[in-house]
Structure 1
Amino acid sequence: MDVLFLSRLQFAAATIFHFLFVPLTLGLSVMVAIMETKYVRSGDEQYLNMAKFWGKLFLINFALGVVTGITLEFQFGTNWSRYSAFVGDVFGSL
């Protein structure tokens, strides 16, 4: 196993782990918004309790997504520094 393969393996594992949080965060945000809208329209306390419960899980999930995203950003800088320098010059000029 060479260094390039291990770097790719590490980045793949981190990306897969990060991708678990992305769709879950998007789905939970829509679900909590719908529950809060139903609470405002109907006044039923059950929707408020549901929104509070799922809102807490949303915040935890969002925080874990941010942490894994920062990990990916550092891996770009450490494992793929030449690629990051090239892409930074391309996107920096836009």
Structure 2
Amino acid sequence: MFEAVDLARLQFALTSIYHWLFVPFTLGMTVTVAILEWTYVSTGKEVYKKMAKFWGKLFTL
């Protein structure tokens, strides 16, 4: 079946893939929500406030 080294390599691969996908996504979402908040404050348009609130809720899950 599988040896311990094979399972360790599989675990490392899955951890690396998870890290490679979700860390850039969360950093990008942080910047996106910050830009939306800043745009709302500078323009006063409610659509940016709603967008920031929507994406902020998804981001904090």
> What is the TM-score when the length of structure 1 is the normalising length?
0.59
Query: By how many angstroms is 1:14 displaced?
Result: 2.1
Q: Which runs of 5+ in 2 are unaligned?
A: none
Residue 15 (structure 1) aligned with residue 13 (structure 2): no
2:13, 2:56 → 1: CA distance?
Answer: 29
Which has the higher mean CA deviation after the structures are superposed, 47-56 or 7-16? 7-16
Q: Structure 1 residue 38: deviation in Å?
A: 0.6
Match for residue 36 of structure 1?
Answer: 37
In the alignment, structure 1 segments of 5+ residues that lack a partner are 61-94
Equivalent residue runs for 1:1-94 within 5 Å: 1-60=2-61
Identity %: 57
After the TM superposition, which segments of 4 or more aligned residues of structure 1 sit over 2 Å from their partners?
none
Task: Report how many aligned residue pairs link the two structures.
Answer: 60
Partner amino acid for 1:31? T
CA RMSD of aligned residues (A): 1.1
Q: Which moved more, 1:42-51 or 1:17-26?
A: 17-26
| Deviations, residues 33-72 of structure 1 (Å, cap 9, x unaligned) | 1100010011111000000011112112xxxxxxxxxxxx
Show CA shifts across 1:2-61 (max 9, x none). 11111111121122123211011111111111100010011111000000011112112x
TM-score normalised over the length of structure 2: 0.86
